[in-house]
Amino acid sequence: MTTFTHQHTRIKKHRGIGVGAAGISLLLLSIVICLAVGSVDLPVGDIVRILLHHLPWVGEYIPVTWDPSSAQIMIHVRLPRVIMALLVGGALGVSGAAFQGVLRNPLADPYTLGISSGASVGAALLIYFGLQYAFLGQWTIPVTAFVTAVMALFVVLRMARENGKLPIQTLILSGVVMQSFLGAIVSFLVAMSQDGINEILFWTMGSLAMRGWSYAGILLPYFVGGLIVLIAYSRSLNMLALGERQASHMGLNVERTKWVVLLTATFVAAAAVSVAGVIGFVGLVVPHLLRLIIGADYRALIPMSAVGGALYVLWADTIARTLLAPTEIPLGVVTSFLGAPFFAFLLIRNKRKSQEG
């Protein structure tokens, strides 16, 4: 029996490594393809050479054989947008996996606790009163959206807290109430606005347009720091999946784990929403799909959700900017078009399984 268990564990480990290697390879290939596609198609060979040319200790050995305009388009326009797509997708995927783990609910995502609605209210208020650049220039909306998203989380946690604990059912219900209330505020501002209605709606639908290197620099430390913390707590999430009482008997500080994971996932998701607007279904679909492929071990699920989320948003953004070019489709619309049917399929499949069982 012990030998069988060790073999099974080794097979799962090798399978996880294989899936991880395949995911990273697919991500690298997707980056090159998405850099090549656009209003001006760039040869893949030129893209690889330009990228290598800008690497330290390697660039000096790569001769310049491409048009200078191609380098300008790639380095200053497409590459920062691709990096932003990777960071936003990775952040939303990781936070979605964390929320599903700590809430033990496969339908949970970064928006369950009102994070997106909180960010939307901050952005909508600034746009409505014409204060988009009033305090911090181009950073006024991202910083305000981040602050209001975190404020919404603290209100939700305050409403859900009972005797120092966070009951799962009360937490989800508090998030739904907060999201509905804040969504009503955004709808009211849209209805009352005359000049800024299109800008408010466009922000709430999400976009990576005009997001340069500076935005990526703001999001990067939140993503990296949050990923490190959540990976460190992946074993705790595995224990929590057995149930709070069982996890407690195994020595896990359940309440501390829930607080740390919830706060970390919220900061990561709020940072992504604050720079890109509301982008739905990433944190919902990606961890759910990966759970079907690699299982529910959060030691693999957390990092792979970052890779899967990055892939999802990268291709969704490529579709958004190229499908109806020169018109750009809001990124949130594309992710919803791709994610909603897939999630409906998952719901129907799970319903049939429960009925058969």
Per-residue confidence band for 3, with pLDDT thresholds at 50, 70 and 90: low
Q: Render pLDDT for 6-30 as a digit per residue (tens, 0 to 9).
A: 555 565 666 667 778 888 999 999 9
Angstrom distances, CA of residue 313 to CA of 31, 76, 208, 319: 11, 20, 10, 10
Q: Render pLDDT for 334-348 as a digit per residue (tens, 0 to 9).
A: 998 888 787 777 667
What domains does the chain contain, in order, with CATH numbers?
2-356 (1.10.3470.10)
Maximum CA extent, the chain: 70
Determine the pLDDT at residue 120: 85
Determine the pLDDT at residue 312: 95
Query: pTM of the prediction?
Result: 0.86
Of 31, 168, 42, which Cα lies nearest the Cα of 113?
168
d(CA 23, CA 75): 25
Give the range among 126-130, 249-253, 257-261, 340-344 with minimum mean pLDDT.
340-344
Which class for 333: exposed (0-12), middle (13-18), buried (19 or more C-beta within 10 A)? middle
Provide the 8-state DSSP code for 63.
Answer: -
Angle, CA of 148, 152 and 154, to the nearest 5°: 115
Residues 6+ apart with CB under 8 A from 48: 32
